[in-house]
Chains A and B, each alone.
Chain A
């Protein structure tokens, strides 16, 4: 089980495709920094067809800094810094996509 942390906007499609193509059952995705834009409803086509046990999260501070609190797609959970640390422990490894 791997936690995938991505920090680029969804305009960097090849980066998203590389990450999404490498997912395994039980993995998690965490959007941080400019990647939180991928959590908006308009971008949910990106995440269609994923195995159902992939957990999706977005870093709360980065969502708030961009004024997106009420625009996050319901498929994503808000993750604060403490929960980010917790997710890092729960997964076997943390892979960063940038």
Chain B
């Protein structure tokens, strides 16, 4: 089946972001397809390439990146939610005259149209709320 996931939860204050990762991994292990993962609200915080957790804690950012690379996943970050929280790609950094971009590689900033499309074409959409 074709799945899309919507992740609202912050990677730092709730367990949900990890649950979403485990679920995504299991979907792929079971042979399902993930059309898109859409990060929204505080969920976008996981796409900050500067995230540096203590060595004895898991790193959700690198986990998502590895999973995305292995399975060519489409990781889309809501642009309005991201820019507001200081997560910028090269374009946005230039537009707002900020010294650097910090969107992690493997993620892409885009709009709600991408979420609407994912809902329209996927067999199942699963939300991981805060």
Contacts and interface: CB of A to CB of B under 8 A. Distances in A.
B19 A32 contact: yes
Interface residues of B, number: 22
Interface string B15-36: 1100100110011011010000
A86 B30 CA distance: 9
B19 A85 contact: no
Interface string A24-41: 000000001110000000
Contacts, number: 51
Contact of B129 (A82, A88, A89, A98): A98
B52 to A, nearest CB: 25
Contact of A94 (B8, B30, B124): B124
A93 B27 CA distance: 15
A96 B127 contact: yes
Interface of A: 5, 7, 32-34, 61-62, 81-82, 84-86, 88-89, 93-98
Given A81-B26, A93-B125, 16 more contacts: A7-B129, A61-B22, A82-B26, A84-B26, A85-B26, A85-B30, A86-B30, A88-B126, A96-B126, A96-B127, A96-B128, A97-B129, A98-B9, A98-B16, A98-B129, A98-B130
